[in-house]
Structure 1
Amino acid sequence: MAAFEAAFASGLEFVETDVQLTADGVAVLMHDETVDRTTNGTGAVADLTLAEIRALDAGSWYAPEFAGTQVPLFDEFADALMGTRKKALVELKGYWSPEGVRTVLDAIYLRGVQNRIVFASFNLSTIAHLAHTAPAIPRVIIKRDLPDDPVALVSYYEAIAILTTPTSLEMDPDAVERMHAAGFGVLVYTLNSEKRWSEALAYGVDGIVTDKPSKLDGWIAKTAPGT
């Protein structure tokens, strides 16, 4: 949560996070499928209970001053978001059932932040459940490799954009133009260098996911003030 608190205090408009369900059905923030890399524990998030995950140290891997930091609950993230005017791109990792989707929807609507949330997922069944269960909240489809017809894919699932890699755009340089002509957006992930940012903007993408948001923001202001 320390990272999100810093982001919320910045001038950035969007934050991004990844959400998974514990074995007992509680939504927590975790990027990896397992807790091994970013905590002192081992095992898949889906196999651990909330109590087991909350007992882990999720801060020492980053820096000693964060020792003892717990894996955040999605509820805690939503609480923090509620006190700001920021927006959030929330990736639901893996497959989410309609019941699982409702766990995050309840937290979102309880806090009144539904107008500042965009969902994202690689899993098309999850996207379909989101479209049915939360049709008012925008959805983004994540695809490492663009399909032959990204417009058809996004249209079918009633999403607003596709999130992909710069490599996939290199393979299909007209994809952004086709998506824009159909009224859809194109985002790219995860770009952390000026070279990559420059390439992405040259394609005309609508957004960039990065681990260096402040540097990206400053670079855009300096090199592309009209973007």
Structure 2
Amino acid sequence: MTSSSGARSEFFPLAWLTITVLTLVGGADLTTFLANFLFVANLPPSQLLEGGGHLWSLWFEIYSSIVLGVLAAVFAKQFGSVHSFVPARLVSFGGVAAFSSALYGGLSYNAWAPLVAVCIVLFLAVRGKPMFMGKFLGGMSYPLYLNHWIGVFVGHALMSPFGMRDTMGRHVFSAILNLGIAASLYWCVDRRIVAMRGQLFTGERGKLTMYLGYGLVTIGIIGGLILTAFTDAQV
């Protein structure tokens, strides 16, 4: 968890740069800038910057995986696996049930979903005998996290013409497709790369990949701002 959280946190400087640029370009006030800079702009009332709508996802990155997740890990290291005791597991299960019911009843998803996620992790985080299925599901979880949007987009494209965009059938279809894609990517790609990691990875290649990634994101940001300005000028 720590390594994946660290990997995701490396994108925060880029997010802060994007927020600063969007604030200067759009002329947002200080309150809006700070709400976005601290990644709480998605909380009611929403204060997301124009052009920065997807920054809402960083709320989940910070407060579910980094703040709450790391806090739970530190607590477990300091006091032992207290979360695996029956009373703690009952509390975790109760948290899942309570927050899920509240979300279903209209509670803000953006605000409370991280708490549901942490309760689920704490409830399931118990030591047991290593099994193939556990390793397989754990391995496909990261490809699922990265590529879950594919099933949603495909489901929308296929079912919108029939008026089924927001139906339960579309959700089920997207979920099944996402699970299939994640399982395939883990089995055919991730698993093999991990086995060959020692042969593929060097410090120089890691730095080159980092520079390439930051460069491509920077090009995307600049290109998007130019395209947006050109489109607005045409209108």
Common fold by TM > 0.5: no
Q: What is the TM-score normalised by the length of structure 2?
A: 0.26
Q: What is the TM-score normalised by the length of structure 1?
A: 0.26
Report which of the two has the higher share of strand: 1
Report which of the two has the higher share of helix: 2
